[in-house]
Structure 1
Amino acid sequence: MRGPYPYPRRSLLSSASRVGLSLLLDIGIVFGAYALGLWLKFDGKVPSESWHTLAWAGALIGFAYILSYQALGVYRTAWQYGSLRDAVLLAAAVAIVTAGILAVNALLPKRPIPLTVNVISAAFILLGHGMVRMLPRLWSTAGFPASPETPRQRVLIVGAGDTGQLLAWELQHNRSQPYHAVCFVDDDPGLEGKRVHGVPVVGGRYEIPDAIEKYQVDLVALALPPERAPRLQEVLALVEPYKVPVRLVPGLADVMEGRAQRGEMRELTVEDLLAREPMDVDEAECRRAIAGRVVLITGAAGSIGVELTRRVFELRPSALHLLDTNETGLHELRVEMVQKAQGSCPVKPWLCNIADQQKLHDIFEASRPQVVFHLAGYKHLTMMEENPDQAFETNVLGTLNIFEAAQAVQAEEVVFLSSHTAVNPSSVYGASKRVGELLVSSMPKRRTRFCAVRLTNVIDSRGTVLALFSRQIQGGGPVSVTDPRVARYFLTINEVAGLVIQAAALCRGGEVFLLDTGEEVRIAELAERLIRSRGMEPGRDIQIVYTGLRPGEKLSESLTGENESLEATSHPRVLAARSNAYFSGAELRAGIRELEVDRRRRTGNLAGRLHALARFDQAGGATEPPPSQPVESETREEAPSE
């Protein structure tokens, strides 16, 4: 029975015993320091009077140190994690007691313990008390393995900044980690030859090959700050010949914000290997486009939709409507957004298939959105080749339904997510996206402005071939590539979300926006680099097999069509493609509705007619060039100030 104690008696007694032993040890060090001081002062021949005085004065001095340590929090410090500030407080406590003793001694007519002994003893006390308190930390950093049976991998850390230092400290102190930091590499010449947490800095990045051989490195950890990320390719090239695995250390900001654990080292992703400068959006323009407005996002539960929802929420819309057919994904996103909003922004989920025209109109009437981001749609090229009816129903008919519902409630802007496959489409999926772009440029010129964003391959979206590569490598291979010549442009989900919001800020009506993504990358080369980053050799440890192009797939991408011209925008990395081909938008919409009826009757070649719709701008039927500005006023209402 414990009685009134919240903890067991044995635990309390054990704690009291530790405190008592600690106090006795501190007093013992005080006596020892003064004895050593007297011995040094009198060259070993200490007067008996001095010993007698020390016998009773030593206890008082020890008690003074205890009071000083308690007042400055020395006893409340966990010294195995002690910092420079804690060491300064310890020295300050010693200095305060020493000053007090000197002041008392100055008033005494006779001094059995000389003033110099008090100063000498204070130095010994600081050293003794400091050593006793630092012993746990010295033990934890001694570098002893957790057990002799557990070998630790030898780690070379690239980057001796905050991130690299945090990793080295964690590897030294956390014995459960199967790693041991053996050296740093950093391009700062001032660090060369120095030690950081006891780990030598051997030189700049060009010393990596020598360091791998000299220290028998088992793993290379990249602790580069974001602004130096473009050097990643050069570092990987230096490491590749040695077949050493490479890991990336999350930045200090990621650790502080809870996105990563201290000491974590993750495998490189395709996004890391591309090492492209991220796109910066014009925050002021994006905020003006979103703040204080009702926003509706279709396809909100998809990987791109979730990131876009988060970004839009940060720009403070007046209300956020999320539409998808994925019940679980939509529910989880709603819970996340409601928790973040804390009542400041209404969040409403809508379960709806965008092919259901009446349900869509009911949703738009209820929500009255001012800005619509249309992301919903199928995206897998092969699946759409095998199911052209679904490509038409969702990607074409659903898009037309969204556009007409937005116009019916006089939404201000609609941003449609298109694809690079819409350029000279050779697939059913590409044709369905091209029809969406044609609708963007040919909808009736009323209050609502339409624009499209033409995406390339999105690196980290669900179901991409790059995610498949990672799973195949994890499973031991082989890695399947369609053709060694296939090359693609790439975007990250963050870039896509930023580009879509930037498009809303730039939209004037009828544009197709593109992001300058740099050079094309060969898929086979990317697969090889991903394999090497795991410390394996393509063709030996992991095989690459070529399966041949799939129906509708191209060897390389075109970002603009034959009848399109590129125009600069106010954003340096965002371009606008405008077509010089003119056609009747009313006839295009009538053709879509006619195909809807014929599809229900199961008449005609659906895939062929879908491709014909995608070439509608090349089939004549021109009326007059669409104006560069919508007919009605486009004055943007300013969001109310807070």
Structure 2
Amino acid sequence: MRTTRKLSIMLLDIGFLFASMLAAIVLKADFERLFHLFENAPHFILLMIGIKLVFLKLLMLYDSLWEHASVDELIRIAVFGALSHFTVVALDLYMDGEFSYKSLLLISFFDVVLIGGFRMSYRVLRRLMSRASNITQSYKSVLIIGAGHTGGMTARHLLSEPQRLGYPKAFIDDDPLKEGTLVSGIKVLGNRYDILSVVKRQKIDEIILAIPTVPMQDRREILSECKRTGVKVKTVPSLEEMMVDNVDLKKIRDVEIEDLLGRDEVNLDMAGIKDYLEGKTVLVTGGGGSIGSELCRQILRFAPKKLIILDINENAVYDLSNELKARGLAGVDLDTVITSVRDRKELQRAFQTLKPQVVFHAAAHKHVPLMERSPQEAIKNNVFGTMNLVDAALKNDVERFVLISTDKAVNPTSVMGVSKRIAEMIVQSVESNKTIFTAVRFGNVLGSNGSVIPLFKKQIQAGGPVTVTHKDMVRYFMTIPEASRLVLQAGGLAKGGDVFVLDMGEPVRILNLAEDLIRLSGLEPYKDIEIEFTGLRPGEKLFEELLTSEESVESKTKHEKIFVGKPGRVEYAILLKRLVLLKELAEGGDQEALLEMLASLVTSYQRDNREINKAFLENGCTALIKEMKSRKLAMS
């Protein structure tokens, strides 16, 4: 092996020595001398090359380990150049000057450059290969989905800090013209259906989605392929995040369940929203909460005169105020009110002082199990808090009042749900020539405070188990930004007394949601993270609905994701009388009497959730989901 290696290098050296001589003659443009040498003095050429090979051998330049070459080898090459030069000069003089002195000097120079350069480049190449090998072995290997502009930027960003971010090993892209090409020096190895095989073949540790503009349906399909690999999945910021939060590729984040369940961005009638918000004083109750804070962010886009954040949670209001100021208020006055919607006098004072023209009422107690244990608190806050706001709106000529409601108000089995249904009834029944009252009803919001998603994430981070109440539980889900935009849109469509129902998409199994979250964390359900079923809690249903059995959909609005529900209407004067009794019961502490009163107010309220859940299971949850879908289809 070593002999073969030495012979190979010697043959290369002979080639270099010939090349040195030819280069010197060409440089001197002495072509006649070249023809003369090969015709009349080939023995001189062979002798010259032989002498130089002897010097290379004597100086042990065939015995060095060139991957470890250092200054010592460079010195020996320089000595070789000097010795061979003076020896050949002497030989040339002895043979009557076949070469000029300058030609011999050039030949020696090229000898050193070519022979020495080859040996040192061998060392450099070995080191580069070794470094590349170390990178792929030491750093986590990353697969980038999307070989477009964003994917190229992502690859360059990773290459700048591979020790922290990982080393990009390959691209995946659905464009067949890109397959096999190089992007930022990284090869495109296939399309979305090759993700699993590429991850296994390239030993990928992490996947990064660099497809901010891809339609949501395609994004979900790609994420489903990524989930099969069992490795961690991250994503670059979406275009919306980049525009709103001014983030860049340095903020590559974990893929969230919102990325898997989210839908394409909502198209808004911007002019319609602007008509009722621009230049107005807008009040948001529960402004520090998940929905309320996002409403505040979205409202700022429509240039109101003033934005008022009302909440009892001072810390949440403080944080949101700082965030909005940091983003830039663009001439909008920002004000805050720290109070509860239960404080009637303080609400009246705030309305008289600040004079809001548009009110979004998002403040509410929303935790079903907690409200089952404290039903009087749910009634005081959700029902009479709404009453206080409605009264303040009527007395201060508010132009538009929008109640944020929930699908749990439909055929409720919980105190929280029935309290929100009564709040809807108040907004539906109140009559005013100056104020438009309306309600907007939607389901669960992904990632909102106290929702199941943050709980699952904490449980996964703690190593499990993830707790699911029932394997057949299903819910509608919507992202916070989508819900907030549709609320703003519905507010512009309101005519008074209507309940808007938002298109929530397809119902999702909570169990599937938990499994997806575990997989997106690079873990395997039931293997790395256990899932435990804890049983339904008081007041919980296995499924939620968007319309009650007696409700109908009057029409589809001009927005494809908003429908107008027409529940039965109650006379406001009659409702007020019954609410007086309800208030006495809520303050009196007799829970049983309070629950009976709730059942008389909302006839669809079922205090015992067992029967409705039993029907759901007996009929087959798949069949009921199909029925829910058909009802939603009828809406469109």
Give the shorter-chain TM-score range: 0.7 to 0.9
Given that 2:135 and 2:167 are in contact with CA atoms closer than 8 Å, whether structure 1 keeps it comes out as no
- 1:188-199 aligned within 5 A: 188-199=175-186
Given that 1:232 and 1:275 are in contact with CA atoms closer than 8 Å, whether structure 2 keeps it comes out as no
CA distance in structure 2 between the partners assigned to 1:140 and 1:451 by the alignment = 71
Aligned to 1:171: 158
Deviation of 1:230 (Å): 2.1
Q: Choose the corresponding residue for 1:181, options 144, 168, 190.
A: 168
Aligned to 1:610: 598
Do structure 1's residue 427 and structure 2's residue 398 form an aligned pair? Answer: no
CA distance in structure 2 between the partners assigned to 1:140 and 1:255 by the alignment = 40
What code does the residue aligned with 1:516 have? D
SS in 2 for 1:236: helix
CA distance in structure 2 between the partners assigned to 1:226 and 1:463 by the alignment = 30
CA distance in structure 2 between the partners assigned to 1:465 and 1:357 by the alignment = 33
CA distance in structure 2 between the partners assigned to 1:140 and 1:305 by the alignment = 58
Deviation of 1:613 (Å): 2.5
CA distance in structure 1 between the partners assigned to 2:588 and 2:243 by the alignment = 60
Deviation of 1:544 (Å): 0.7
What code does the residue aligned with 2:276 have? A
CA distance in structure 2 between the partners assigned to 1:199 and 1:489 by the alignment = 41
SS in 1 for 2:522: coil
What code does the residue aligned with 1:394 have? N
Given that 1:158 and 1:221 are in contact with CA atoms closer than 8 Å, whether structure 2 keeps it comes out as yes
CA distance in structure 1 between the partners assigned to 2:436 and 2:581 by the alignment = 25
- 1:239-254 aligned within 5 A: 239-251=226-238, 254=241
Aligned to 2:381: 394
SS in 2 for 1:524: helix
Q: Choose the corresponding residue for 1:271, options 250, 258, 261.
A: 258
Aligned to 2:475: 488
What code does the residue aligned with 1:355 have? R
CA distance in structure 2 between the partners assigned to 1:328 and 1:500 by the alignment = 25
Q: Which structure: greater helix fraction?
A: 2
Q: Choose the corresponding residue for 2:311, options 324, 346, 351.
A: 324
* Matched pairs, number: 491
Aligned to 1:364: 351
Given that 1:155 and 1:183 are in contact with CA atoms closer than 8 Å, whether structure 2 keeps it comes out as yes
Deviation of 1:338 (Å): 4.5
Given that 1:162 and 1:252 are in contact with CA atoms closer than 8 Å, whether structure 2 keeps it comes out as no
Q: Choose the corresponding residue for 1:354, options 333, 341, 344.
A: 341
Given that 2:342 and 2:385 are in contact with CA atoms closer than 8 Å, whether structure 1 keeps it comes out as yes
Aligned to 2:202: 215
Do structure 1's residue 530 and structure 2's residue 526 form an aligned pair? Answer: no
Q: Percent identity?
A: 37
CA distance in structure 1 between the partners assigned to 2:218 and 2:329 by the alignment = 42
Do structure 1's residue 235 and structure 2's residue 222 form an aligned pair? Answer: yes
Alpha-carbon spacing, 1:252–1:613, altered in 2? closer, same or farther (3 Å): closer
Which TM-score applies when normalising by structure 1? 0.71
SS in 1 for 2:417: helix
SS in 2 for 1:225: coil
What code does the residue aligned with 1:284 have? A
Alpha-carbon spacing, 1:246–1:147, altered in 2? closer, same or farther (3 Å): same
What code does the residue aligned with 1:42 have? K
Aligned to 1:557: 544
Do structure 1's residue 568 and structure 2's residue 556 form an aligned pair? Answer: yes
CA distance in structure 2 between the partners assigned to 1:616 and 1:544 by the alignment = 34
CA distance in structure 2 between the partners assigned to 1:37 and 1:283 by the alignment = 74
Alpha-carbon spacing, 1:252–1:194, altered in 2? closer, same or farther (3 Å): farther
Aligned to 2:493: 506
CA distance in structure 1 between the partners assigned to 2:184 and 2:597 by the alignment = 69
Q: Choose the corresponding residue for 1:293, options 280, 287, 291.
A: 280
SS in 2 for 1:536: coil
Q: Choose the corresponding residue for 2:365, options 357, 364, 378.
A: 378
Aligned to 1:282: 269
Deviations 1:26-58 (A, max 9, x none): xxxxxxxxxx9998553379xxxxxxxxxxxxx
Q: Choose the corresponding residue for 1:597, options 584, 587, 591.
A: 584
Q: Choose the corresponding residue for 2:565, options 561, 577, 593.
A: 577
Deviations 1:117-165 (A, max 9, x none): xxxxxxxxxxxxxxxxxxxxx9999994798898211111111012211
What code does the residue aligned with 2:271 have? A
Given that 2:599 and 2:605 are in contact with CA atoms closer than 8 Å, whether structure 1 keeps it comes out as no
Deviates more, 1:271-280 or 1:458-467: 271-280
- Structure 2's unaligned 5+ residue stretches are 1-21, 32-124, 607-636
Aligned to 2:617: none
CA distance in structure 1 between the partners assigned to 2:590 and 2:239 by the alignment = 61
Alpha-carbon spacing, 1:473–1:352, altered in 2? closer, same or farther (3 Å): same
Deviates more, 1:427-436 or 1:362-371: 362-371
Aligned to 1:53: none
SS in 2 for 1:184: strand
CA distance in structure 1 between the partners assigned to 2:25 and 2:241 by the alignment = 56
What code does the residue aligned with 1:188 have? D
Alpha-carbon spacing, 1:38–1:578, altered in 2? closer, same or farther (3 Å): farther
CA distance in structure 2 between the partners assigned to 1:173 and 1:616 by the alignment = 62
What code does the residue aligned with 1:374 have? H
Given that 2:310 and 2:338 are in contact with CA atoms closer than 8 Å, whether structure 1 keeps it comes out as yes
Aligned to 1:26: none
Given that 2:499 and 2:565 are in contact with CA atoms closer than 8 Å, whether structure 1 keeps it comes out as yes
SS in 1 for 2:177: helix
What code does the residue aligned with 1:354 have? V
**RMSD over equivalenced CA pairs, Å:** 2.9
CA distance in structure 2 between the partners assigned to 1:326 and 1:139 by the alignment = 63
Aligned to 1:548: 535
Deviations 1:77-97 (A, max 9, x none): xxxxxxxxxxxxxxxxxxxxx
Aligned to 1:27: none
Aligned to 1:304: 291
Given that 2:412 and 2:605 are in contact with CA atoms closer than 8 Å, whether structure 1 keeps it comes out as no
What code does the residue aligned with 2:263 have? R
CA distance in structure 1 between the partners assigned to 2:605 and 2:244 by the alignment = 50
Do structure 1's residue 43 and structure 2's residue 29 form an aligned pair? Answer: yes
Aligned to 1:10: none
Given that 2:411 and 2:604 are in contact with CA atoms closer than 8 Å, whether structure 1 keeps it comes out as no
CA distance in structure 2 between the partners assigned to 1:217 and 1:333 by the alignment = 40
Alpha-carbon spacing, 1:336–1:213, altered in 2? closer, same or farther (3 Å): closer
Deviation of 1:508 (Å): 0.2
CA distance in structure 2 between the partners assigned to 1:179 and 1:529 by the alignment = 24
Deviation of 1:343 (Å): 7.6
Given that 1:323 and 1:350 are in contact with CA atoms closer than 8 Å, whether structure 2 keeps it comes out as yes
CA distance in structure 2 between the partners assigned to 1:208 and 1:348 by the alignment = 51
Deviation of 1:296 (Å): 1.0
Whichever of the two has the greater Rg, that structure is 2
- Structure 1's unaligned 5+ residue stretches are 1-35, 46-137, 619-642
